[in-house]
Amino acid sequence: MVYDARSVSGSRSRKDATRPAAGRRPRATAATADTEADLAAERPTALTGDEPDTAPDEAPVTLRLDGKVALVTGAGSPDGIGYATARRLRDLGARVAIVSTTRRIHDRASELGVTGFVADLTDEAEVGALADAVTDQLGDIEVLVNNAGLASRTSPEVLRPVAQLTYDEWRAEIDRNLSTAFLCSRAFVGSMCERGWGRIVNLAATAGPINALPTEAAYAAAKAGVLGLTRALAMELVADGVNVNCVAPGTIYTAASTVTEIKQGLGTPIGRPGTPDEVAAAIAFLCSPAASYITGQMLVVDGGNSVREAEFR
């Protein structure tokens, strides 16, 4: 099933896209400080070896997402990271929604047996309409993968030196790669905080947070911004049970890969480009209950390329 957010983007969304996320837990007051101190004194300070491996109210560590509602953005390509991620989350038991800017998402949704939506995620009104539609059809989103923004053949990366880069080109790259993550995160964090559980995984890149190449300043700046957004949001939501992380792929082989990019992949320590499934595996882990003690982090998936100091001979 495909929903086109553009059909209602002119009307006011039932949800206020600018509403703040649910507040943090109340700070301790003078009236509660003594009680909390007494409770703390009663807690054991160290394990003795006789205690169970997990606390009585602690959920078991699992990769399964049974019953969770997940949204993966930028899943229109059949051999892209978004599509591979949606498939993996579905296989882990999640009820998955996918979104892209064109109606080809209908084909991807049919192939995966999930629900598809069409929306321009750089448009605030369309993101608000999308949030309403996903919630109405599937329920509150508990897992959000902000994959939209990676370059494709239909929407190529702007490659131009800063001195020749127009302001419109700069803004387009920032909007596509950073604003989409901001708008989608803002649309769904409120319900995650209300439920007391959530996972957000943003797609950064090695370009920007770790390194850069000439002519890619806008893209690198946007992806560095994704890391900053991830860390700030993680600290804002940590008390509400919502973990926020990002994955930074290096050279990944997709239909949009250029010959130059493939050659770069062959030059990594592992000796080949990565695959969308390998990136999806990292994303899925960070989406799972097993990643409960990980937040504000960036997981690099680049075949070790960012680690080495010099080319191997």
Smallest CA-to-CA distance from 191 within 151, 136, 152 is with: 136
Burial 193-211 (b: 16+ CB within 10 A, else e): beeebbbbbbbbbbbbbbe
Q: Which of 3, 83, 219, 253 is catalytic?
A: 219
Tokens of 170: 């700069």
Helix (H) or strand (E) holding 263: helix 259-266
Would strands 143-146 and 115-118 be described as parallel, antiparallel, or unpaired? unpaired
Helix (H) or strand (E) holding 202: strand 198-203
**In sequence order, which residues have a C-beta less than 8 Å from that of residue 50 and are 6 or more positions away?**
none
Question: 167 catalytic, yes or no?
Answer: no
Tokens of 223: 């992806």
**In sequence order, which residues have a C-beta less than 8 Å from that of residue 90 and are 6 or more positions away?**
96, 112, 113, 114
Return the SS3 of 225: helix
Question: Are 175 and 260 a contacting pair, CB within 8 Å?
Answer: no
Task: Give the Cα-Cα-Cα angle 6, 176, 224 (nearest 5 degrees).
Answer: 150
Tokens of 143: 């897992």
Helix (H) or strand (E) holding 136: helix 124-138
Dist CA 191 CA 140 (whole Å): 6
Q: 162: how many CB neighbours lie within 10 A of its CB?
A: 12
Tokens of 142: 């508990």
Q: Which residues have a catalytic role annotated?
A: 219
